[in-house]
Amino acid sequence: MKGISLALSVYAVCVVGLFLKMFALSCYQGYFRLRYLAFTNPEDAAVFKRAAQLAERPQVCRAGRAWMNDLENIPLFIALGGLAIAVAAPGTQVAWLCGVFTVARCVHTLAYLAGWQPWRTLAYGVGVLCLWVLGAMVMGQVIAAA
Amino acid sequence: MKGISLALSVYAVCVVGLFLKMFALSCYQGYFRLRYLAFTNPEDAAVFKRAAQLAERPQVCRAGRAWMNDLENIPLFIALGGLAIAVAAPGTQVAWLCGVFTVARCVHTLAYLAGWQPWRTLAYGVGVLCLWVLGAMVMGQVIAAA
Amino acid sequence: MKGISLALSVYAVCVVGLFLKMFALSCYQGYFRLRYLAFTNPEDAAVFKRAAQLAERPQVCRAGRAWMNDLENIPLFIALGGLAIAVAAPGTQVAWLCGVFTVARCVHTLAYLAGWQPWRTLAYGVGVLCLWVLGAMVMGQVIAAA
């Protein structure tokens, strides 16, 4: 490594990976909207000379709930992971937490789309646990420096 | 302090605090889903041998609207607060703004869940005001450095 | 420039600009809620001695969908743009990508509110393309440093 620490490298790869995962979820939604030509915005439906739908397709709604759960967790990961690096928390542990969080969120999305329980709740729990440990490490560094 | 500035310390504590507040809101939603065994995902309802509900419980919907408001404000705080530290805005003022924002968002969530007006709108306004001042401080540093 | 790099300056201006754009969208929603005195929270409607509405006004719903799309894209921009600066990706290119992304998201919001197609989808695509290039630049720096 020159100039970029291990923790920052792993964190950067995880953020890019989560971006690709979220982008894949957008594509999944777009695929079902296009496959059934079902759009809730009149101007979108008009492109295909259809009437606007009152509700989204069930797959689009399900993917939307997976998105919402991502939005509740991933920005916090980006913040807490970045903070852990900024306050110089132990690098190897931060790198591991970033990796486990990213894998857990990918499993969560797959389990949500497929309706697999208890795997979805388990993956959610692992992700939240990583956030708790990252938060505790940040607090530990702040208290140690005070 | 050694190595971690006052502003970064306070910002870090505020981000961890907001994470705990958002996590508490998830627990509140989960509590009402479990108490009434009311789930909108069929695979969740099946765990408790129930049929899926068409709509969430009113308390879950209300907490969901508080969440949405958090999502519109807290990521912007994380970004603007982090930027204010990165461009070396005056530390004491940044620390105060972070603290006031965090308290305002906690009051906002409590007031939303309890349906207290005008306290909810007041807390929302204080939070937005902190974001405006943080944004102005970032712009001031960028213009001063140009 | 003294102390703040070009890329960080442009990134900071873009984040503040996106904050103002998102704030304008909140004002747009509030304007339609107040103009028709249509509120879904009973405690909000009670301030104006009205009954709570079951659904939001169509303009509020449309602005809400624009918000959701912002929430899916802007936090990722804040993360990937900040990372590109942290791993010292080429500054001029990062500055251009930040500027183009910010303009694209402003066009996206206007096109969403006005129902202009294909401009909305085009603006969304330009924004996502900027995120892809930022992600690729971050990965390039991480691989080069390994």
DSSP string of B2-64?
-SS-HHHHHHHHHHHHHHHHHHHHHHHHHHHHHHTT--SSHHHHHHTT-PPPSS--HHHHHHH
Residue A2 above 70 pLDDT?
Answer: no
Residue B6 above 70 pLDDT?
Answer: yes
Separation between Cα atoms, residue B90 and residue B106, nearest integer Å = 25
Chain C positions in Cβ-Cβ contact with residue A2 (cut-off 8 Å): 145
Percent of chain B with pLDDT strictly greater than 90: 24
Q: What is the residue-averaged pLDDT of chain A?
A: 85
The number of residues in chain B equals 146
pLDDT in tens, B49-82: 777 777 777 777 888 888 888 888 898 999 999 9
Average pLDDT over residues C54-64: 77
Q: Which of B86, B131, B135 sits opposite C8 (nearest CB)?
A: B86
> CB within 8 A of B105, min separation 6: which ones?
B18, B21, B70, B73, B74, B77, B123, B127
Return the SS3 of B110: helix
To the nearest whole Å, the CA of A19 is away from the closest chain C CA by: 7
Cβ-defined contact of C80 to A15 (cutoff 8 Å): yes
Q: Say what the pLDDT of residue A1 is.
A: 43
The neighbour count for residue B142, using CB atoms within 10 Å, is 21
Average pLDDT over residues C64-83: 88
Q: What is the residue-averaged pLDDT of chain B?
A: 85
pLDDT in tens, B70-123: 888 898 999 999 999 988 888 889 999 999 999 999 999 988 888 887 888 899
**Residue A99: how many CA atoms within 13 Å on its side-chain side?**
10
Rounded to two decimals, what is the model's pTM? 0.85
Q: Say what the pLDDT of residue B1 is.
A: 43
Residue C77 above 80 pLDDT?
Answer: yes
Chain A positions in Cβ-Cβ contact with residue B74 (cut-off 8 Å): 75
> CB within 8 A of B34, min separation 6: which ones?
none
Residue of chain B whose Cα is closest to the Cα of C16 = B135
Query: Comparing A70-79, B58-67, B136-145, C17-26, which segment has the lowest mean pLDDT?
Result: B58-67
Is residue C45 less than 8 Å (CB to CB) from chain B? Answer: no
Is residue B49 less than 8 Å (CB to CB) from chain A? Answer: no
ipTM of the complex: 0.80
pLDDT in tens, A118-141: 888 899 999 999 999 999 999 888
